Structure 1
């Protein structure tokens, strides 16, 4: 478990073929920072969903940043898109789409959205 803040590690993605790299990057960094394998896998699922949404709904790809704070691992997913709509109910089982952001909110300890007029940063936090 990390007891001090670390400098962010960063990875860029721009193509669907980059998603496997992003998942490996997040999982490996999260474990190295002190998250358990299970919690690192949950963070990886959340980041993968956000990165996939970036590639489906924006142009230009995005950046993932990950670092440790005193009590958690933080991860930012930054892209040039508009703020996603969090705070929604889980779609019904017969709906073909729309579960990804609802899942992100349920598996992360913290989810924050920070639009800046140029794009959006979604900040995730996973407690140790």
Structure 2
């Protein structure tokens, strides 16, 4: 029988700073495609399969945020151009680039009984922070959201 050695801290975890990209410009079914891509990234990065309820909730929250940001780009910005997921030490940053001129914002006041218009409210509630970045002298924007890594 061979002795077992404990794995060094961080062994088996993907390196911080890793970025995954999915091109979505001009494709049909952008929302389910983005969710499937995000799910596979979460598997690669060790968030799935979830072992604890907190890990499962964190993964489900991230998949919901991906769905909401891509849906928002489909409805209000002529469709998403690209989905990016960036791994940091204690969080994942989700970015959805599009060519739309608008700036997303949660509806205020938020009325839960009103149909539609809940996407950015959901993003705001689930994320540590979110925002919009514009590139000077370029069309479009990137809407980003950051979610905490599960414990």
Query: 1:127–1:3: structure 2 CA closer, same or farther, 3 Å change rule?
Result: farther
Cα shift at 1:121: 0.8
* 1:126 and 2:137 matched: no
Partner of 2:21: 10
Which TM-score applies when normalising by structure 1?
A: 0.83
5+ residue gaps in structure 2?
A: 1-9, 48-54
More helix by share: 1
Which TM-score applies when normalising by structure 2?
A: 0.72
Q: How does 1:106-117 map to 2 (within 5 A)?
A: 106-116=125-135, 117=138
- How many residue pairs match? The answer is 128
Cα shift at 1:72: 1.1
CA distance in 1, matches of 2:41, 2:109: 29
- By relative contact order (CA 8 Å, sep 6+), the higher-ranking structure is 1
Partner of 2:57: 38
Partner of 1:102: 121
Kindly indicate whether the alpha-carbon contact (under 8 Å) linking 1:31 and 1:37 is maintained by their aligned counterparts in 2: no
Cα shift at 1:102: 0.5
More strand by share: 1
**Structure whose CA Rg is larger:** 2
